[in-house]
Structure 1
Amino acid sequence: MQGQPLPGDAHDPPPILETRGLVKEFRGFIAVNGVDLTVRRGHIHALIGPNGAGKTTCFNLLTKFLEPTRGTIRFKGEDITRAAPQAVARRGMVRSFQISSVFPHLSVRDNVRVALQRELGTSFHFWKSGRTLDSLDARAMELLESVGLEKFATMVAVELPYGRKRALELATTLALDPELMLLDEPTQGMGHEDVDRVMELIKQVSANRTILMVEHNMKVVAGICDRITVLARGAVLAEGDYATVSANPAVIEAYMGAESEDLFGEEPTQATSTRVPATEVVS
């Protein structure tokens, strides 16, 4: 029944985000086709699938950057299907993007202070002195320390290596105190060292919150995710833990031509762990 949670194990935590029959059509092309998704509190939940499977479109629907053609989205038990993006963010669902979205010419600390401005109720008071943000310094440094950037606080963000920029994005996302974080390809373009660092950061920041992530790197998915939903051609193909989905013949077939053996092997290859060549390596 629409709006009712799907049955789960009696020991499962309650859902924080649910979709039922979610559909998105673009002039006759169905990008998302009847997706039922249940993300449970406290989980790290991955959304995976071959290129073109509808993962990012799904993210855009959940965070209201797109309006669904049909279906419902419920967050913390409330119907947000027609809510505005800013209303969804204020309720505690915040996302990151595939492309780095920091303010490049602000310092690392100032990037976090900008995100923290909501606490002061001065987000749009651009004419006020920067000293009005000084009260946020302690919290900004706490957040930077949580992602290993406290030593880079005064550095201009554009000078950060790529992996550190992604860590800064995590810090600015945490500054909004989200209950649910949506991470879009958090390790895209990274080498092994960066991937390992960001995996650890995601595990750290998942304490007391829920994470839904789109991710191609199966080392990351296998290493930190509690549950995985596989999309193919816009529809849910399989769901379960890593062992379950990686052994599913339909999932393996969907990845054929996309290094399926590498993707679901016990030891992902270099090509799997770095699907986009890294241009910068963290020292």
Structure 2
Amino acid sequence: MEHKTDFVIETRGLTKEFLGFIAVNDVNLKVRRHTIHAIIGPNGAGKSTCFNLITKFLTPTHGEILFNGNDITRHSPSQIAREGVVRSFQISAVFPHMTVLENVRIGLQRRLGTSFHFWKSDSTLDILNDRVLDALEQVGLAEFAQEEAVNLPYGRKRALEIATTLAINPEVMLLDEPTQGMGHEDVERVTELIKKVSAGRTVIMVEHNMNVVSNIADTISVLQRGQMIAEGNYQTVSSNPQVMEAYMGSADAELQGH
């Protein structure tokens, strides 16, 4: 029997309207604890809007968002980050001339916010270094700790972004198009990385690459025109006629992972 706490994130009737345009329409999402849950769909399906609602960068027009059974609909992004729901950002341009270690440390310091306001000087931040180095180790960047972020290849910049999120040790990690713009080798590396860091936590990801989704997602929610049209494992959604129709033509091949 399912309990409400089996689901770490749940949305009920989630709806977002922009000047009469309904971008997300009555979406009921249930994200099971300690799984990788992917949100997919063709362009304009409402994936990013849905993601921005869950991470509280947008406020829903209607509906509720629950985290561990508690209503977080009106919470701010910083509130939910403190509670354990953390979104990763493309940080490659944030501190390009600081080292990889410094980037993660600043990200950690910023996300932890006021609880660390008593640390005045840079040297006192050394207390965070163990946590930072552990995160870098997990994503395979330990050897690049003293490298300036600007010098990292693109795929490793995305690994740095994941390390920054990981350092905060979130209960729920949200990844927005983690393999976007990557070559095949980087895609494989980052896919393996997501699989690795998902151990013991929940990952929600918006992703366009169906190979990635088919390899690592436990559950896939498919959106089209703001509505959820299918949900289940890859085999279930990829054989769904409505999903195949939504992707159509050449994108149909993409859905099959070619």
Query: Structure 1 length normalisation: TM-score?
Result: 0.86
Segments of structure 2 that go 5 or more residues without pairing to the other structure are none
Q: 1:56 to 1:119 in 2, by over 3 A?
A: closer
Q: Greater share of helix residues, 1 or 2?
A: 2
1:235 maps onto 2:221 in alignment: no
2:241 paired residue number = 249
Q: 1:47 to 1:100 in 2, by over 3 A?
A: farther
Question: Equivalent residues in 2 for 1:30-49 (5 A)?
Answer: 30-49=22-41
Query: Structure 2 length normalisation: TM-score?
Result: 0.94
1:192 paired residue number = 184
Shift, 1:116, TM fit: 3.0
Q: Distance in 2 between matches of 1:17 and 1:110?
A: 31
1:23 maps onto 2:23 in alignment: no
2:115 paired residue number = 121
Cα deviation 1:40-92 (Å, max 9, x = unaligned): 00100000000000001011111111110000100111101111111111110
1:85 maps onto 2:116 in alignment: no
Q: Distance in 2 between matches of 1:106 and 1:98?
A: 16
Task: Say whether the 8 Å CA contact 1:102–1:157 is kept in structure 2.
Answer: no
Q: Distance in 2 between matches of 1:263 and 1:99?
A: 29
What amino acid maps onto 2:236 in structure 1? T
Question: Equivalent residues in 2 for 1:90-105 (5 A)?
Answer: 90-97=82-89, 100=92, 102-105=94-97
Shift, 1:184, TM fit: 0.3
Aligned counterpart in structure 1 of residue 195 of structure 2, from 203, 210, 218: 203
Aligned counterpart in structure 1 of residue 171 of structure 2, from 146, 165, 179: 179
Q: 1:113 to 1:74 in 2, by over 3 A?
A: same
Question: Equivalent residues in 2 for 1:117-156 (5 A)?
Answer: 117=109, 118=112, 121-123=115-117, 128-156=120-148
Segments of structure 1 that go 5 or more residues without pairing to the other structure are 1-8, 269-283
1:215 paired residue number = 207
What amino acid maps onto 1:24 in structure 2? K
Q: 1:19 to 1:175 in 2, by over 3 A?
A: same
Q: Give the RMSD, CA atoms, in angstroms.
A: 2.0
Q: 1:98 to 1:116 in 2, by over 3 A?
A: closer
What amino acid maps onto 1:135 in structure 2? I
What amino acid maps onto 1:80 in structure 2? I
1:76 paired residue number = 68
Cα deviation 1:109-146 (Å, max 9, x = unaligned): 01111133339933586xx3210111222221111110
How many aligned positions are there?
A: 256
Cα deviation 1:172-231 (Å, max 9, x = unaligned): 001111100110000000011001100110011001100000001011000001000000
Q: Distance in 1 between matches of 2:65 and 2:187?
A: 31
Task: Say whether the 8 Å CA contact 1:111–1:172 is kept in structure 2.
Answer: yes
1:170 maps onto 2:162 in alignment: yes
Query: Residue 44 of structure 2 aligns to a residue in which SS?
Result: coil
Q: 1:81 to 1:11 in 2, by over 3 A?
A: closer
Shift, 1:259, TM fit: 2.1
2:101 paired residue number = 109
Q: 1:204 to 1:74 in 2, by over 3 A?
A: same
